[in-house]
Amino acid sequence: MKNVKRVLLGLLAVLAILILFLPLSIFVDSLLDGNRLDALTNTTVPGANGGPDVRAYVAKPEGEGPFPTIIMIHEFYGLRESVVGKADFLAKEGYLVIAPDTFRGSTTSWIPRAIYQVINTKPEDVNADLDSVYAWLEAQPDVDSDRIAILGFCYGGRTSLVYSLHNNKLAATVIFYGSPETDPEVLKSLPGPVLGIFGGADQSISVEEVDQFDKALTTADIQHEITVYDGQPHAFVENVEGIQAGGAQGEAWAQMLAFLEKNLKNVTAQQSENSADSYRAPFAWKYYAMLVYEHAFGSASHQH
């Protein structure tokens, strides 16, 4: 009995330490944030409709525009070097790319704070900031306003889907392992074709969920291309170096380029009259809980 009590007391002590440590660690990480975004952004987008300004990184291709344009959304860590690198890499293919900060000044490499950022960021605020980005893009002479697409990774994949349900002017949507929507009635509001790329060994998004997403898009009569890369974990498209090394990262990137070539670069966007401004994405508790599991027990090198 004494041993049982000692074990229980030990567990309670560990739990108490965690309860105290995690909030403190988030606070300390925020203090260390400093001016991280200064080195990652080169553009300030004026806030539309009285909203706050949005900081972003813009990568422009060589030559004269107007260019087909991509809004690239970061992972739940926030805007980081890997996203900036992908934006530059995609710009070399002839796309103007803007990677906005959707956490209004917050970025981190510490996973508890990453989840805290998502919990404390309202989806309607993200949509409002992306509305500012979209309005700014429409006013840029280098941008072909009929050919603006959105793509994102992890949190950014989900955000891209949600924003496409909000903005019926987008020409296409690319989702890298973002939490999917499986209601065909909701998906009917998507304004253009969808590419979804997922990992077969993803612990946070099951293959069954991806299959339901695929079937729901078919039911909603949305042109789409959904691919599951066997054996790949969550966030397997890590960075430019990984893409250039080939393998699943390179294949997924090449698939995205082919999709964008077909549905953005070489066509005029087919705009829909549908809109889902009232759609509000629920916070995916299961999804982010599984991300913690994936990070703790999966490959520690993968981004989210």
Do 207 and 62 share a structural domain? yes
Q: Which of residues 55 and 115 earns the better pLDDT score? A: 55
The mean pLDDT value for 55-76 works out to 96
Whether residue 303 is contained in a domain is answered as no
Mean pLDDT within 62-79: 96
Q: Residue 101 falls within a domain, yes or no? A: yes
CATH of the domain at 102: 3.40.50.1820
Q: Is residue 78 part of a domain?
A: yes
- pTM of the predicted model, to two decimals? 0.85
In the numeric block, which tokens belong to residue 293?
Answer: 């599991």
Looking at the structure, do residues 76 and 13 belong to the same domain, yes or no?
Answer: no
Residue pair 54/133 in contact (Cβ under 8 Å)? The answer is yes
Q: What pLDDT, in 10s, does the model give residues 151-164?
A: 999 999 999 999 99
pLDDT at res. 88: 98
Are 14 and 91 members of one domain? no
Higher pLDDT, 61 or 33: 61
Is residue 302 assigned to a domain? no
Instruction: Round to whole Å and give the CA distance between 159 and 175.
Output: 9
Out of 24-33, 80-89, 114-123, 192-201, pick the least confident. 24-33
> Would you say residue 104 lies in a domain?
yes
* Number of domains into which the chain is organized: 2
- CB burial readout 27-63, b (16+ within 10 A) else e: eebeeeeeebbeebbeeebebbeeeeebbbbbbbbee
Q: Would you place residue 22 in the very low, low, confident or very high pLDDT band (cuts 50, 70, 90)?
A: low
Examine the domain organization and report whether 218 and 264 are in the same domain. Answer: yes
The answer as to whether 304 is a domain residue is no
Can you give the residue range of the structural domain that contains 221? 37-297
Task: Measure the CA–CA gap between 96 and 137, rounded to whole angstroms.
Answer: 10
Calculate mean pLDDT across residues 241-246: 96
More confident site: 37 or 292: 37
Same domain, 4 and 71: no
Which position has the higher pLDDT, 117 or 53?
Answer: 53
77 belongs to a structural domain: yes
Q: What is the mean pLDDT of residues 54-75?
A: 97
* Co-location of 99 and 117 in the same domain: yes
pLDDT score at 264: 97
Whether residue 63 is contained in a domain is answered as: yes
Q: Do 120 and 245 sit in the same domain of this protein?
A: yes
57 and 17 part of one domain: no
Q: Residue 267: what pLDDT?
A: 76
Q: In terms of Cα–Cα distance, which of 1, 190, 154 is closest to 78?
A: 154
Q: Which carries the bigger pLDDT value, residue 284 or residue 278?
A: 284
Do both 245 and 195 map to the same domain?
A: yes
In this structure, the answer to whether residues 161 and 58 fall within a common structural domain is yes
* Shared-domain flag, residues 130 and 198: yes
Range 55-61 average pLDDT = 98
Which pLDDT score, from 0 to 100, does residue 77 have? Answer: 94
Identify which has the larger pLDDT, 67 or 287: 67
User: Average per-residue pLDDT in the chain?
Assistant: 86
Q: Is the domain of 4 the same as that of 60?
A: no
